Structure 1
Amino acid sequence: MQYKGSCHCGSIEFLVDTDLSKVVQCNCSICKRKFAKMNLLPKDSLKLTKGENNLGIYQFGTNVAKHFFCKTCGIYTHHQRKSDPNGIGVNLGCLDEIDSFTIDSELLNNK
């Protein structure tokens, strides 16, 4: 199914194709602080439709993972995964039709 997503201010918009089968929460140092539920998907499942120039990138440690956020409102929208550079994690809180608080998730132990 295709979902529409955006950051809080609407500067970043995207479409994502997913069946919501791989929903996780991660306990690494950055994800613990974001406290977001993420859907793990192949990289080509996400299509930016607005605001690519407004995407900021945060990297740390090995600089393999890329954490993308809106430069205006600061909302984390998605990231390129360290363990799978061809995979992404999409912040389910950014999807219009999804209530991320009611979706069960698996814990990724990445401490």
Structure 2
Amino acid sequence: MIKPGHTYNAACHCGSIKYRVTISKDDKPPRRCTCSICRMRGAAAVSTPLDGIEFLEGKEFLTLYQFGTMTAEHYFCSKCGIYTHHKRRSNPDEYGINVACIEGVSPFDFDEILVHDGVNHPRDNAGKARLAGILRYKRYDE
């Protein structure tokens, strides 16, 4: 399980991009969002401060994608297409990290993942964040 304040190795699917992340000390469990890009990519994310990410290999393979307000910065591997991280619109002092890129972690390790209302983003809604729902995962062997 991911622990706030701990450091983890991470990589894209093909291994071209290797990085290390330190999870924010006050980070909450992984989350998802209902905005258009998060809805389509389906990844769960945790946070790290901007100085909490260190690229070990392959930074040149990162591709930046922006849309809408052009505030958030979404990064993908140009070889395998995996979303690795993004600079958050709701907190530009942090990156959101794809939990599936963290070594030994899967989004299916979490029984519940909070889903934030990104369609009505706090930056567009007088700073009011809203929970849209909760995704629950139940293993068949339980």
TM category, shorter: over 0.9
Task: Give the SS at the match of 1:96.
Answer: coil
Identity %: 37
2:81 alignment partner in structure 1: 74
Q: 2:115 aligns with which of 98, 107, 111?
A: 107
2:10 alignment partner in structure 1: 5
- Tell me which moved more, 18-27 or 5-14: 18-27
The amino acid that maps onto 1:107 is V
Query: 1:53-64 maps to which residues of 2 (within 5 A)?
Result: 53-64=60-71
Q: Give the number of the structure with larger relative contact order, counting CA–CA contacts within 8 Å between residues 6 or more apart.
A: 1
Runs of 4+ in 1 over 4 A off after TM superposition: none
1:45 partnered with 2:13: no
Task: Give the SS at the match of 1:63.
Answer: coil
TM-score if structure 1 supplies the norm length?
Answer: 0.93
Cα displacement (A) at 1:40: 2.1
Tell me the matched-pair count.
Answer: 111
The amino acid that maps onto 2:38 is C
- Tell me which moved more, 99-108 or 14-23: 14-23
TM-score if structure 2 supplies the norm length?
Answer: 0.73
- Asked whether the 8 Å contact 1:6–1:14 carries over to 2, the reply is yes
1:96 partnered with 2:96: no
Unmatched segments (≥5 aa) in structure 1 = none
1:86 alignment partner in structure 2: 93
- Asked whether the 8 Å contact 1:3–1:97 carries over to 2, the reply is no
Alpha-carbon distance in 2 for matches of 1:61, 1:80? 14
